[in-house]
Chains A and B, each alone.
Chain A
Amino acid sequence: MAGRMLHIASAHSGSPRWLAIQHRQLAEHLPVPYVTWGSVAGIDSSHAAGFDHVIEQKGPEAGKLNHLAVEVCQVAAPDDLLMFLAPDAFPVADPMPVIEEALARAPLVAVRRSENDGDPQPHPCFCVTTVGTWQSLPGDWSDGYPWSAPGLGRVTDFGGNLLRRLELSETPWVSIERSSSSKLDPLHFGVYGGIVYFHNANEIGRVHRLDAPRPLPGAGTPLLGRALAAAEAQRRLAWERGLLRRSARDSEEIFRGISAGGTEWLERIGHNPSAARPAG
């Protein structure tokens, strides 16, 4: 690590609620020199002061991360480290031993959310590589390339095209899997590799959809079709609202714990501090 800089890219939007927490956690857990690159779309510009570099950008998160990486690569050295971090993600322990050990084995290390119906792709909630690797791949967080989700068929998501790039260039990567054991939610409020927390309370993921209400009997019947489709849509909406309401309740409680500092909230989500290692 000696001599090389760690560049951290994080695209915040809509709310400043995670900014101070993310920066506090980075300062607490990163023992190496680093610079932060961020954007604050839809957030009062006074909150931009927390970043070393603020880039004006809008749109979906994949494009914003690609853009942040372009700007980082303009000034960084090929050996510098590039870390992508979701706006509501942050380290809960020193991640550098895990990062160094992983990058000694492969040029890219990232969260893999296998718990989300077997997601195979690197996820940008936490990913570290060198600037040189990102440029030579070249990296791209957009969706497009599909895979088979065991429960839901062919799907794509953030990181799909990066997975394809890695495959085509035969570049191995080290995945960091979920290490927290809480039953609060199968996808939200997770710690990965014992080092990074990802709050992610607003996403209805594929793992949630596996428990979505089954279609009503008779769906597809010509005469009943329209009425049943309307009833299906209402049931699905009610199910989604219920899920997000429950998650919002837990989210607020956990957020209060995080804001207050300390480690009680980590116990609630089943964090295992001894799990600080990459998976495979």
Chain B
Amino acid sequence: MTWASLEGIDPAEGVHFDRVIEQYGSHAGKLNHLAMEIGREAADDDLLMFLDGDAFPIAEVMPFIERGLGQAPLIAVRRAENVDQPQPHPCFCVTRVATWRSLRGDWSPGPVWPGGQGWEVTDVGSLLMRKLELAGLGWVQVLRSNKRDLDPLYYAVYGDVVYHHGAGFRAENLSATHRAMAPDLPGADASGLARRPEGRLARRRKERWERSMRRRLEEESESFYERIAAGDSDWLSELI
């Protein structure tokens, strides 16, 4: 049974889902809300799968899930390739309804870890990670399994069973992985130095680089999406 929300999308697309829940707001809040509505109807033993809007299985996924849940009560993608993110990611996560209930699962950001750029960061899934830690529960990490990387973060295959486009809904923001690819421009991020001419110049160059990177990622994403939408599997053979 599929549950979804279609914020900003033609309601006619609702025919693709068994239940469409009206909701707005943050990604984490919407997932929490969907899980709450599912919890009204589902039995404790039912499985609960979170799947990003731009993620889907590319192979028979149930043996993988059953194997994973035989090892731990929750399995989820961990985007280790995104500056070593440690937390479960909702692009693909499966657990039992009873586990989500007893864990009081929550996708909110909040708890922090050391990021790649010298300061602490948080992201969707960090509070779930904290709850798992406090409950003493392990989880199975589903890692990136691409044989070939068209991009260090996007167009990802995880565990050889799930594809996550990644660039689907957030072209306006660069990921930490993509920001880390920026040329070394001393002073570009320093607010004090930026007031001086050399700092302002570095900041402008960095902004120009970011605009160009966003444009390139959008173009590549659109082109790859069109190949996926065409329905053949050529696109997949480029990744695995």
Q: A63-B28, A70-B134, A143-B25 are in contact. Are A164 and B106 (CB under 8 A)?
A: no
Docked-complex contact B23 and A145, CB < 8 angstroms: yes
Distance (whole angstroms) from the CB of B11 to the closest CB of chain A: 12
- Which bracket fits the contact residues of B? 20 to 34
* B32 interface residue (CB < 8 Å to A): yes
A64-122 with Cβ < 8 A to chain B: 64, 66-67, 70, 74
Distance (whole angstroms) from the CB of A67 to the closest CB of chain B: 3
Distance (whole angstroms) from the CB of B74 to the closest CB of chain A: 17
Distance (whole angstroms) from the CB of B101 to the closest CB of chain A: 9
Q: A59-B122, A62-B29 are in contact. Are A140 and B112 (CB under 8 A)?
A: no
Provide the main secondary structure of the chain A interface. Answer: mixed
Q: A63-B127, A135-B104 are in contact. Are A161 and B36 (CB under 8 A)?
A: yes
* A155 interface residue (CB < 8 Å to B): yes
Q: A59-B108, A66-B108 are in contact. Are A154 and B29 (CB under 8 A)?
A: no
Docked-complex contact B120 and A56, CB < 8 angstroms: yes
B70-129 with Cβ < 8 A to chain A: 104, 106, 108-112, 120-123, 126-127
Q: Tally A residues with Cβ within 8 Å of B.
A: 29
Choose from B23, B109, B130, B134 the contact partner of A146 (Cβ within 8 Å): B23
A156→B127 CA distance, assembly (Å): 22
Docked-complex contact A67 and B127, CB < 8 angstroms: yes
* B33 interface residue (CB < 8 Å to A): yes
A276→B109 CA distance, assembly (Å): 36
Docked-complex contact A59 and B109, CB < 8 angstroms: yes
Docked-complex contact A66 and B29, CB < 8 angstroms: no
A67→B123 CA distance, assembly (Å): 13
Q: A143-B25, A145-B33 are in contact. Are A70 and B109 (CB under 8 A)?
A: no
Inter-chain pairs besides A57-B111, A164-B36, 20 sampled, C-beta below 8 Å? A57-B122, A58-B109, A59-B108, A59-B123, A64-B110, A66-B110, A67-B108, A70-B130, A70-B131, A135-B104, A138-B104, A140-B108, A143-B25, A144-B26, A145-B23, A156-B25, A160-B29, A161-B29, A165-B36, A168-B36
Nearest 4 A/B pairs, CB to CB: A63-B108, A142-B29, A67-B110, A144-B33
